Structure 1
Amino acid sequence: MYDTEKRTYLRIPTRISGHGRLLGDPSEQPVFRDAPLAGLTGPGAFDARDASIPESLYTLLSSLNAKLDLLIGMLGKDQMSSDFPVDLSVVEISGAGLRFSASAALPMDADMEVVLMLSQFPLRMAGAMGKIIRAEDCDGKTIYALDFTRIRERDLETIVQFVFQSQRDEIRGKKWD
């Protein structure tokens, strides 16, 4: 399944946290619902710069919006912990799945819903449904491999952007070594 010749997405090492929950039924609906990404176009999309307001006011409002997003994200952590009781520590991520350690033992072939905390500020999260396909012992920890089975297009795009940005940051860092 993770054969390099069949891999569709770039997989990178990472250290991000996440939350998960085991599913009773693989066709169960996801609990996690993220707000649409800022800057989307379409019905209801609004760009304050189009309102003919001064740039300094736009900057202030954007800053306030980012701070409110952070506060709302912090308030939602308690709800997230109750909806998703398994804490995850992700060690590898791609658009096809992830490898992680968990705060509880997980059964093989279990179906899970996961929510990944890609960044704290600005708060960026992505959710997906998947199946545990492998468990390996690594330095006394069990590392699980999860293949995504259902993922919304915007969540997949968020993960792929995170992977590409991480790769760019790594390349820039190597340039100065």
Structure 2
Amino acid sequence: MSSQERNYSRVETRIKAYARRTPFANAKPIFTGCFACDMEEQSTKNLYGSHVPRELIAFFQRMDEKLNMILSLLSQGNIQDDFPISAEVIEISGAGLQFISDESFEVGDTLEMALILSQFPLKVVGVVGNIHRRVKVKNIPVWVVSFTSIRDIDREKIVQFVFQEQREQIRGKRSEADK
């Protein structure tokens, strides 16, 4: 992620991540982005085109959101079982990330990570990457990871997340300036 090689925007963030060490830098990640997330919008459009009353559609949508919350909580338990190392991502881009963890690592370690981009509905992105350096911020070790294996759909979800976070930060700065 050196400045000469950077092709993706990056953003400071705070998202939960789970990791495990792996010897395979080019292995495909187990967890992947939310494939059904794009389908939700289309199914809602189909409902509005039918003769179903709007109140019933709203009821189904609320019920769907509640079921998504329950399934998300159950799925997170499974993720923690498979990925025992807990981490917090503090910066992310389409090419890599920076994270903090209570666990200690070595430069060159390969990690498979499950990044929680959204809690409800649960959006998990799977990546594999190498730790290529360690920096200290306020005396806390920050591990810098370059992705070595990531599915295109997962990279797209990360890029969308980065743009969304940047928009929110810009809106926050504007509202502070207006006060």
Aligned counterpart, 1:105: 104
In structure 1, distance between residues paired with 2:42 and 2:89: 35
Q: Which runs of 5+ in 1 are unaligned?
A: none
The structure carrying a bigger helix percent of its residues is 2
Q: Give the stretch that moved more between structures: 132-141 or 156-165.
A: 132-141
Aligned counterpart, 2:2: 2
Aligned counterpart, 1:90: 89
* DSSP-derived class of the 2:24 partner: coil
**2:133 aligned with 1:144, yes or no?**
no
Over the matched positions of the two proteins, sequence identity in percent amounts to: 34
Q: TM-score, normalised by structure 1?
A: 0.87
Amino acid at match of 1:163: V
Question: Once superposed, what is the RMSD of the aligned Cα atoms?
Answer: 2.1
| Aligned CA distance change for structure 1 residues 37 and 74 (closer, same or farther; 3 Å) | same
In structure 1, distance between residues paired with 2:55 and 2:79: 35
Q: Give the stretch that moved more between structures: 23-32 or 78-87.
A: 23-32
Which structure ranks higher in relative contact order (CA pairs < 8 Å, sequence separation ≥ 6)? 2
Once the two structures are TM-superposed, the CA of residue 123 in structure 1 deviates from its matched residue by 2.5
In structure 2, distance between residues paired with 1:48 and 1:165: 23
Q: Which runs of 5+ in 2 are unaligned?
A: none
Residue pair 1:49, 1:55 contacting (<8 A) in 2 also = no
Amino acid at match of 1:2: S
Q: TM-score, normalised by structure 2?
A: 0.86
**2:117 aligned with 1:121, yes or no?**
no
